[in-house]
C-alpha cells in the first residue's frame, strides 16, 4: 500500500514537471538549439528528434546541434531514416540561437575544453535539460537555481523515455518515425533491455510500441559491425595489444581516424563477452581530432563504468556514462606534431592503461 502511494506520487511529480516544460514552450519566442554533447548515440538522436516534433507542434524554430559528428553507421542510418540534418556545434556555435535545450546530457558532462568556449553562452541561453545521466548534487542545485527547466532522472534506461512522456502530454500523436526512434533509443541504451531500465521505461514503451516500424529498424540495426571494427578486434586480440590483470582487461586500439574511432565502443562490448572478464577498457588515439578516446564496460558490482571512466579522465579530460557502460576523452598533453610519433602514442596509451589499473586497484603498486 505504501509503495502504491509512493508510485502515484512519483507519477504526479513527473506529470507536473512535463506540464511545466509545455507551459514554458507555449509562450516561447525565438529559436532553439536542440543540443547533445558527447558521442551521439541513438538515444540522443531519438530524444532530439522527439523534442523537435514537440517544438514543431508549438511552431518554434529549431535546429539540431551536436558536439560530435555522427560516425557509427547505424546512427547515420537512423538520421537518414528520420530525414533530419544535424549541424556540428563546434563549427556552428550557439550565436544564431536564443535558447539551448540539452537532451541525453547535462552541463556537468560538458568537457572542459567545450566549457571554455561555449560555457558562457550555454549558461545564458540554457532553456531546458532532459537527461538520465548522473549529475553531481552541487551541479544539480546550481542548475535548479537557474531559470532552466530541469528533468534529470538517472534511474531511467533512456532519455527517450522522458521525451515519450512529453510527446504524450503535449497531445501529439505518436507516429512511426517517433516510435521507431524512441524504441531504438531505449533498446540501444539498455543493450536490448538487458541492463538498467525501470518499469517506467516499459510503461512509456507501451504507448508507442504498436507504431514501431520494425522493418526499417532492422535495416538500421543490421550492419552492426563495420570492417573497421573487425580490424580493431583483430588488433586487440594480439597479445601485444592487450593486458589482463585479475578480471580486468585493457586493450590498445592504436591510432584511428574520426571515422574508424567509432569502432571503440563496439570492440569494448565484444571484449566484455570473454568469460572471467568483468571490466574492460579499450582506448585509441583519434588523430583527426587529436584526442584519446576510450570506452569502459563493467559487469561487476564494486564500481560503476561511469565511475571508472570519470576517474581515468580526472584532471586530463572528461569521462562519464552509466552503471555498465562509460566513455572518456582525454586531451593528450603532447604537441600536435609529436602525437604522430609512435613513442608518444605508446606513452599515451600506456599512461591510460596505468590509470585504469590504478582505479580498479590493479596498479603496479597495489
Ligand atoms: Mn541515453
Q: Are strands 248-256 and 126-131 parallel, antiparallel or unpaired?
A: unpaired
pTM score: 0.71
Q: For residue 253, give the nearest of 226, 284, 289, 228 by alpha carbon.
A: 284
The whole-number pLDDT of residue 1 equals 44
Q: What percent of the chain has pLDDT over 70?
A: 92
Angstrom distance (rounded) from CA 52 to CA 46? 10
| Strand pairing report for 291-298 and 279-286 | antiparallel
Give dist(CA 211, CA 358) in Å, integer: 48
Q: What is the pLDDT of residues 256-284, one digit of tens each?
A: 998 888 899 889 999 999 999 999 999 99
Please give the mean pLDDT across all residues of the chain. 89
pLDDT attached to residue 98: 97
Which pLDDT score, from 0 to 100, does residue 60 have?
Answer: 97
Neighbours of ion ligand 1 (CB under 5 A): 43, 104, 159, 189
Name the least confident of 18-22, 320-324, 327-331, 344-348.
320-324
Summarize pLDDT for 279-307 with one digit per residue, the tens.
Answer: 999 999 999 888 999 999 999 999 999 99
Q: Do the beta carbons of residue 21 and residue 32 sit within 8 Å?
A: no
Cα of 346 from ligand 1 centre, angstroms:
32
Q: What does the pLDDT read at residue 72?
A: 75
Q: How far apart are CA 53 and CA 55, in angstroms?
A: 6
Give the distance (Å) from ligand 1 centre to CA of residue 277.
25
Å from CA of 365 to ligand 1 middle? 36
Q: Domains (ranges, CATH) in the chain? A: 2-221 (3.90.1640.10), 227-359 (3.10.310.40)
Banded pLDDT at 183 (limits 50, 70, 90): very high
How many A from CA of 273 to the centre of ligand 1?
Answer: 22
Residue 113 has pLDDT above 80, yes or no: no
Would the pLDDT of 337 be above 70?
no
Contact criterion met (CB below 8 Å) for 34 and 52: yes
In the structure, what pLDDT confidence band is assigned to residue 11 with cuts at 50, 70 and 90? low
CB 35 within 8 Å of CB 104: no
Helix then strand then coil, % of the chain, to nearest 5: 50, 20, 30
Q: Report the DSSP pairing between strands 99-103 and 86-88.
A: unpaired
Amino acid at each position: 500500500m505504501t509503495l502504491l502511494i509512493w508510485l502515484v506520487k512519483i507519477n504526479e511529480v513527473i506529470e507536473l514537471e512535463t506540464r511545466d516544460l509545455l507551459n514554458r514552450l507555449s509562450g516561447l519566442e525565438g529559436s532553439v538549439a536542440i543540443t547533445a554533447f558527447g558521442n551521439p548515440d541513438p538515444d540522443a538522436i531519438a530524444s532530439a528528434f522527439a523534442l523537435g516534433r514537440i517544438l514543431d507542434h508549438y511552431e518554434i524554430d529549431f535546429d539540431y546541434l551536436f558536439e560530435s559528428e555522427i560516425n557509427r553507421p547505424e546512427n547515420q542510418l537512423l538520421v537518414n531514416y528520420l530525414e533530419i540534418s544535424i549541424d556540428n556545434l563546434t563549427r556552428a556555435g550557439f550565436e544564431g540561437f536564443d535558447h539551448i535545450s540539452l537532451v541525453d546530457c547535462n552541463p556537468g558532462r560538458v568537457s572542459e575544453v567545450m566549457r571554455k568556449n561555449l560555457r558562457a553562452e550555454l549558461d545564458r541561453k540554457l532553456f531546458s535539460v532532459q537527461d538520465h545521466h548522473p549529475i553531481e548534487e552541487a551541479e544539480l542545485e546550481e542548475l535548479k537555481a537557474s531559470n532552466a527547466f530541469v528533468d534529470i532522472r538517472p534511474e531511467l534506461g533512456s532519455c527517450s523515455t522522458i521525451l515519450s512522456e512529453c510527446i504524450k502530454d503535449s497531445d501529439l500523436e505518436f507516429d512511426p518515425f517517433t516510435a521507431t526512434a524512441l524504441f531504438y533509443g531505449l533498446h540501444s541504451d539498455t543493450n536490448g533491455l538487458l541492463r538498467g531500465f525501470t518499469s517506467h521505461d516499459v510503461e512509456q514503451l507501451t504507448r508507442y510500441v504498436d507504431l514501431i516500424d520494425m522493418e526499417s529498424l532492422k535495416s538500421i540495426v543490421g550492419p552492426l559491425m563495420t570492417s573497421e571494427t573487425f580490424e580493431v578486434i583483430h588488433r586487440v586480440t594480439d597479445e601485444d595489444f592487450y593486458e589482463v590483470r585479475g578480471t580486468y582487461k585493457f586493450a590498445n586500439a592504436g591510432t584511428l581516424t574520426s571515422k574508424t574511432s567509432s569502432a571503440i565502443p563496439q570492440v569494448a562490448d565484444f571484449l566484455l563477452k570473454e568469460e572471467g572478464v568483468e571490466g574492460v577498457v579499450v582506448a585509441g588515439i583519434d588523430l583527426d581530432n587529436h584526442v584519446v578516446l576510450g570506452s569502459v564496460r563493467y559487469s561487476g558490482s564494486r564500481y560503476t563504468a561511469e565511475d571508472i571512466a570519470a576517474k581515468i579522465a580526472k584532471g586530463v579530460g572528461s569521462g562519464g556514462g552509466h552503471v555498465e557502460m562509460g566513455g572518456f576523452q582525454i586531451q593528450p598533453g603532447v604537441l600536435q606534431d609529436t602525437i604522430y610519433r609512435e613513442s608518444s602514442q605508446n606513452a599515451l596509451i600506456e599512461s591510460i592503461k596505468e590509470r585504469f589499473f590504478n582505479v580498479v586497484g590493479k596498479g603496479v603498486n597495489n
